[in-house]
A = this chain, B = another copy of it.
Amino acid sequence: METKIKSIESYSGDNICLVRITDGDGAQGWGMTAPFAANISALVLHQIAAGTAFASHNSPDVNDFTDVADEVIRRNYKYLGTFLARAAAGIDTALWDLEAKKKGVSAAVLAGKKSGRDYIDLYASSMKRDLPVREEADRLREIQDKFGYRAIKLHPGIPVGRDRDFWDGRTEDMVRAMIETARPGTEIYVDVNGNYSVEKAIETARFLHDCGVKFFEEPCPYWKTEETKAVRDACEKIGIPVAGGEQDYIDTVWENMIERRVMDICQPDLLYLGGFSRSLRVAKLAASKNLPVTPHTSNRSPIFIMGLHYMAHIDNPYPFLECGIEEDLWATECYTPQIIIKDGRAAVPDGPGWGFEPDEDFLAKAHYQISRND
């Protein structure tokens, strides 16, 4: 590999950890680890991942910078898990920014912009799970009118909740109310975050299909691949696609899920999965099986920007990308400029790199760490 990484710096807040890489030429790039528990990702980044990223420069197993995250994960096989992948994502996304900036292009252009799209259509993704049904439906309609979204995703039910709801019938009432309240023709998606048993998922799938819901996301606990597969097979007959994959960070698990069609729509999280490079590979694999891809980007941290580049690049984008609608300062205060949403879509930043810069106040307040390749 050509790029010699000279240093890896991190700036951690409560939820966000921004990462800066400097190479041997003094070129720099910004990336981030996956959101939440940022301090743990930062610790894993410096204590475990950084050394192997430095060493990858001289490794015969690394062809270019897009292999570094894989090598970091492989060499640290005793530490496999979400935190290692989150840390690797920080390195990988900073390298994408650095390499794209060196060439003066956007990340999407560096990747090769196959979809040819300059604008990405977005679906409004609600993160409120337990609001009164009327309040949530009205809130979402208001947001729809303001930003022009043509698709909306609900998150009803309790995550991995063993078939339980916040109160009896809320999920069904919420779906019906949303359909009545949204603009006519709005696509409605439902994500239950692994709430259901196979039986309850199939029963719910019938209801959702009858309501005209366009996809059913994460019906069963995601690590129970066989349960999700059973539900998907039933849903094919019912006539509603199953979406999923946001939590999965093991490439062989992705290969298995795509090969066996555990889901119809693939939703890798670019950062949980270990970065842009690894996520591009999943998209390529999904495309080979004609499965559409729309990444998990449920908040407006820089992951959302990376999602725009990703959707601009890949062969097989789903028509809409997830756009978190909550006004979460934790996600937006760390960078500028914010992405403008109009007519239910956003422009793919021109770059160079990702097209964002860290916020100076965020950096000043963040916990700073550096690993040097001496």
Contact = CB atoms under 8 A, between A and B. Distances in A.
Most chain B beta-carbon contacts within 10 A, residue among A43, A80, A85: A80
Q: Is the interface of A mostly helix, strand, loop or mixed?
A: helix
Interface in A16-45: 36-37, 39-40, 43-44
Interface residues of A, number: 36
Most chain B beta-carbon contacts within 10 A, residue among A40, A81, A225: A81
Contacts of A74: 160, 221
A224 B253 CA distance: 9
Contacts of A222: 77
Interface in A75-89: 75, 77-85
A40 B84 CA distance: 11
A113 B252 CA distance: 38
A230 interface: no
A33 to B, nearest CB: 13
B226 A77 contact: no
Nearest to A44: B40
A37 B225 contact: no
A247 B73 CA distance: 14
Interface in A199-248: 221-226, 247
Nearest to A221: B77
Interface in A35-77: 36-37, 39-40, 43-44, 47-48, 61, 74-75, 77
B194 A247 contact: no
A67 to B, nearest CB: 13
Contacts of A48: 37, 40
A162 interface: yes
A324 interface: no
10 nearest interchain CB pairs?
Answer: A81-B81, A81-B82, A223-B252, A77-B160, A224-B252, A83-B83, A223-B250, A80-B82, A79-B82, A81-B83
A37 B226 contact: no
Interface string A248-289: 011110001000000000000000000000000000000000
B82 A160 contact: no
Contacts of A84: 81-82
A43 B37 CA distance: 10
A159 interface: yes
30 contacts: A36-B78, A37-B47, A37-B79, A39-B47, A40-B43, A40-B44, A40-B48, A40-B83, A43-B43, A44-B83, A61-B162, A75-B160, A77-B159, A77-B160, A77-B194, A77-B221, A77-B222, A77-B223, A77-B247, A78-B247, A79-B82, A80-B82, A81-B81, A81-B82, A223-B250, A223-B251, A224-B252, A225-B252, A226-B252, A226-B256
